[in-house]
Amino acid sequence: MTLWLLDLESVESRYTSQWKTHLPELLKEFNVKVVEGADDIPLATTPGAFLNFGGTNIYKSTQIEKISRAFTNGEVKDGDHILFTDAWHPGIINIKYMSQLLGVKVITHGLWHAGSYDPADFLGRLIGDAPWVRHAERSMFECYDHNHFATEFHIELFGKTFKNALDHVGHDAYTRKTKIIRTGWPMEYMKKTLEPFRGTPKRDLILFPHRIAPEKQPNIFDDLQQSMPEYEFIMCQLEQLRKPEYHKMLAEAKIVFSANLQETLGISAYEGAIVDTFPLVPDRLSYTEMYPDEFKYPSEWTDSWDNYLKHKDKLIEHIRFIMQGPTEQSLKQLQALTKSLTDNFFSANKMIEVIKSYGK
């Protein structure tokens, strides 16, 4: 059995650059063949986005040309697996077309990151419920044998828009169990990468490590900075940091702050926990299932600008309390949190189990 891996284009400031080498190594027992796209695409992301909206289509289109030639040449065999590291990939429809018309029975997997079903995502904000995008996403979901999501929150978010799809799946207990998989993301490398930065001397620094986009509410972070001049506040994206520089700054900080209105996983908060930096997150989105109470503040404190102003004094008091640390107790809590997040959300064990269930 061969596992055809259609990877994501490498963006140095995102985890996709690590996935380039980590995923083939993680999956090497399955005879991985990586299907890369064009290497001459724009490197800069569209402002506020995860990728470049034009470049990603060049990349994905050339991937499909390559895998189509592999089908045509007979290189793709019955029982092969095809893994899309971004489920929002029009090429899955091409795969389904070739698989069924050429009679090559492959097993397909897609890792869902976002889509129009999330009102805070770019697709949700700029395109919304336009029929073309909703039908496209529903079609992609149906094409995949296994749809992988990092959190239950993300599955529920998807289900709010595509309830009929999930209800249909639910009629068959086996299909319901395998069509939708709650798996951790393949980020086993993160703990090893960041561990050397533990023990870095802390300073009175609060970080905003998210994309500068409306759903991340950078205006709240800006206002907190004006209200607490005794602390240093940094928006990482404005610094244009390389990964080692970012990791060092993360380890020097005392708090990673989030007021996000969109988060289906939340990588930076986990990165902070690894280096003993306190993740301060709202009790909503994926954070609710991932973080114990000691790391969460009430959602209503930042669920809108008006509510932020109403509860601002409480949030400031809470931040000042945390900035007195870290304490022995908080460090123990961070260690327990890191283990929980590593075991349940930042390793792809469940996805690998599903692949292995087919045998080799």
pLDDT value, residue 68:
98
Higher-scoring residue by pLDDT: 51, 322 = 322
User: Taking a C-beta distance cutoff of 8 angstroms, is the pair 347, 188 a contact?
Assistant: yes
Report residue 40's pLDDT band, with 50, 70 and 90 as the boundaries.
confident
pLDDT value, residue 45:
60
Average pLDDT, stretch 34-57? 77
Q: What is the pTM of this model?
A: 0.89
Average pLDDT, stretch 95-112? 97
pLDDT value, residue 168:
63
Tell me whether the omega of the peptide bond preceding residue 214 falls within 30 degrees of 0, making it cis. Answer: no
3-state percent breakdown (helix, strand, coil) of the chain, nearest 5: 50, 10, 35
pLDDT at 172 over 50: no
Kindly give, in sequence order, each residue whose CB lies less than 8 Å from that of residue 151, ignoring residues fewer than 6 positions away: 182, 264, 265, 286, 289, 290, 345
Average pLDDT, stretch 2-24? 83
Long-range pairs, 115-118, Cβ under 8 A, ≥24: 115/88, 115/158, 116/161, 117/157, 117/158, 117/160, 117/161, 117/162, 118/157, 118/262, 118/264
Spatial separation of the C-alpha atoms in residues 304 and 284, rounded to whole Å: 13
pLDDT value, residue 341:
97
Average pLDDT, stretch 211-226? 95
Amino acid at 99: S
Using CA atoms, how far residue 66 sits from 58, 79, 141, in Å, is 13, 19, 22
Average pLDDT, stretch 100-122? 94
Phi, psi for residue 309 in degrees, rounded to 5? -60, -35
pLDDT value, residue 171:
43
Over residues 127-144, the pLDDT tens digits come to: 999 999 999 999 999 999
Chain Cα centroid distance, residue 79: 28
pLDDT value, residue 94:
97
pLDDT value, residue 183:
93
pLDDT at 173 over 60: no
pLDDT at 160 over 50: yes
Kindly give, in sequence order, each residue whose CB lies less than 8 Å from that of residue 183, ignoring residues fewer than 6 positions away: 148, 149, 150, 348, 349, 350, 351, 354
Average pLDDT, stretch 231-239? 96
Using CA atoms, how far residue 132 sits from 86, 129, 135, 139, in Å, is 19, 8, 5, 10
Spatial separation of the C-alpha atoms in residues 64 and 145, rounded to whole Å: 18
pLDDT at 170 over 60: no
Report residue 29's pLDDT band, with 50, 70 and 90 as the boundaries.
very high
- Comparing 13-17, 47-51, 219-223, 326-330, the range with the smallest average pLDDT is 47-51
The domains found in the chain, sorted by start residue, are 3-185+347-356 (3.40.50.2000), 189-344 (3.40.50.2000)
Average pLDDT, stretch 224-240? 96
Spatial separation of the C-alpha atoms in residues 326 and 204, rounded to whole Å: 11
pLDDT value, residue 359:
79
Query: For tokens 């509860």, what's the residue?
Result: 311
